[in-house]
Structure 1
Amino acid sequence: MSQASNKAYLKCKDYSVSGEYFELLHDTDLDILETSPQPKEEQLGQYYESEDYISHTDSKRNLFEKAYHVVKGIALKRKLNLINSFNTDEKFLLDVGCGTGDFLQIAKTNGWQICGVEPDGGARNLACTKVGEVVYDASKINNLKPHSFDVITLWHVLEHLPNLDTHIKNYKKLLKPNGVLVIAVPNYKSYDAQYYKADWAAFDVPRHLWHFSQKGMSNILGKQEFKVVKTLPMIFDAFYVSLLSEKYKSGKMNFIKAFQIGLQSNLKAKQTGEYSSLIYVAKNK
């Protein structure tokens, strides 16, 4: 990002692991936020070392985690319906940051030829027990055959990746000419983000290196000649994020308050389109 276009936006705490503080800088040209300072790539792993990092485990230790997996099951079916709706030549799917492999598993059982990338060793091993040896370390993505995928998905992954332009350029190379790129990310212009401010759980610094608006996502993808053709809401995220945000703000999970804020966020988003998280469907221009 251009230093000239950066403006201080907010200061946030890493509530999950380190307790450190990070700044969010607003790139006014692109309309995205950047976490600053960004940990070096070799240091990033230490910020994921927490039993509470739920996407890297299948644990159901408490009511919160059990509820998470129930909602996750509903979301998986919706994701499957989305990719099944695309008019693709074939059904070759790459899921980047596939976690423990649940989306790959449901796609495989519905006729998709699957491949996954996951940097976390523990999550990757769990995924392989579900779908076979088709999940690779992130470093292997450059070994995949160009123009071989009909759909590439990143479910809450792009915000974790350094060198955004490089990654998106790689996905363009891996997609077939009429392929579809699907990206889900939090939306820092949602009502719940505006309400919780520095305590908004979806800032999740420093694991989230970038924070997107709708304009920002169009700008980032447009640099690599992708066009956003559809934007879809992830309505459950407002409730999940508000629940974590309440914990960060007050030290306890206030279910009633979190539900109120999540509901209010979704209701406002019906008018504004600014949902807590959004799915962007993009194709080559």
Structure 2
Amino acid sequence: MKAKKKIYLTCEDYTVSNKKFNLLYNSTYEMLETFPKPLGKELASYYESENYISHTDSKNSFIDKVYQIVKKIALRNKLKLINSFKTNQKTILDIGCGTGDFLLTCKKNEWKVYGVEPNSKAKELAEKKLCLNNSVGLYAKLEDIKFEKFDVITLWHVLEHVPNLEAYLIKIKAMLKPNGVLMVAVPNFKSYDAFYYKHFWAAFDVPRHLWHFSKTAIQKLFLKQEMSVVNILPMKFDSFYVSLLSEKYKTGKSNFIKAFYVGLLSNLKALKTKEYSSLIYIIKKT
């Protein structure tokens, strides 16, 4: 992905290090890239925080409680979505499965579930929830899964974390059945809440988020792999949660009313623009 890049924004890591990172605009793909990109053990160190809630089941703070409420609603919606696709064996791979709640929901609804989670603490929590047996497989990395192809592969807010993006897409495509469905959910930096909060926008989440996508970027990236985006769905609750975090980064306070207003305004504007805070892409092989 060679293209002339200029600095779009400079953002701060508010979760772990308070270091600053540039977001470079890639005009070829209409996406942003975090620079510099930490790799390996350095990248892993940016996830070592109790504040990184997707790797914990924390319910301590007000924002934690909001996250858990939204997660329950999202789990029901995700299950309804995957059940809408006709599959033969009901096999699903959730990449970046975190503490395993989505896989547990699928397992309870007669899906044969597999998950990938590189964070050891999150993976341990997932293993306890899922009670590993023949209908469950959990792995630390994608390469550990051998000779399996899946009806459904999901990446819920995961693709933005992947260092070697193009190579990863090639691997995922190879693991999808010919008529399988890939679901990718990512933040949308062209949403109104991103525009409003700018470098305070929590969904930039540097440097854990290495890439920042637009609809054009997702379509071009998968088209290169001979895969097509067949539908795009909004994640309407994300604007509220992201705005709540963004207010805290911007002002030092949660400012619930202001965050709710910005989140609502973002969704209202997106009724016309379709640029919601986060989007789910339904992708199939061409």
Band the TM-score falls in, shorter-chain normalisation: over 0.9
Q: What CA distance in whole angstroms lies between the structure 2 residues aligned with 1:241 and 1:15?
A: 13
Superposition map of 1:151-230 within 5 A: 151-230=152-231
State the match for 1:122 in structure 2: 121
Residue 86 of structure 1 is matched in structure 2 by 85
Alignment check: 8 A CA contact 1:96 1:153 kept:
yes
Partner in structure 2 of residue 278 of structure 1? 279
Separation of aligned partners in 2, 1:171 and 1:148 = 10
Contact 1:237 1:276 in 2 (8 A): yes
SS at match of 1:86: coil
For residues 1-285 of structure 1, the aligned pairs below 5 Å read: 1-2=1-2, 4-133=3-132, 134-138=137-141, 141-146=142-147, 148-285=149-286
Q: Distance in 2 between matches of 1:240 and 1:47?
A: 21
**Structure 1 CA distance, aligned partners of 2:230 and 2:76?**
21
Q: Which moved more, 1:129-138 or 1:265-274?
A: 129-138
How far apart, in 2, do the equivalents of 1:98 and 1:174 lie?
17
Report the Cα offset of residue 243 of structure 1: 0.6
Structure 2 contact 9–22 (Cα < 8 Å) conserved: yes
Over residues 42-100 of structure 1, what are the superposed CA-to-partner deviations in whole Å (9 max), with x where a residue is unaligned?
A: 21111111111111111211332122111110100000000000122220000000000
TM-score by length of 2: 0.96
Aligned length: 282
CA RMSD of aligned residues (A): 1.0
* Sequence identity percentage: 59
Aligned counterparts of 1:208 and 1:261: Cα–Cα separation in 2: 22
Cα shift at 1:145: 3.5
Please give the alpha-carbon distance, in whole angstroms, between the structure 2 residues aligned to 1:62 and 1:13. 22
Q: Distance in 1 between matches of 2:61 and 2:42?
A: 30
Q: Which amino acid aligns with 1:10?
A: L
Runs of 4+ in 1 over 3 A off after TM superposition: none
- What TM-score do the two structures reach when normalised by structure 1? 0.97
* 1:148-178 C-alpha deviation (Å, 9 max, x unpaired): 2000000000000111111111111111111
Gaps in structure 2 of 5+ consecutive residues: none
User: What SS does structure 2 have at the residue aligned with 1:128?
Assistant: helix
- Counterpart amino acid of 2:31? I
Asked if the contact 2:156/2:185 (under 8 Å) is kept, the reply is yes
Shift of 1:147: 5.5
Comparing 43-52 with 141-150, which one deviates more in the overlay? 141-150
Does structure 2 retain, via aligned residues, the 8 Å contact 1:147–1:177?
Answer: no
1:144–1:174: 8 Å Cα contact kept in structure 2?
no
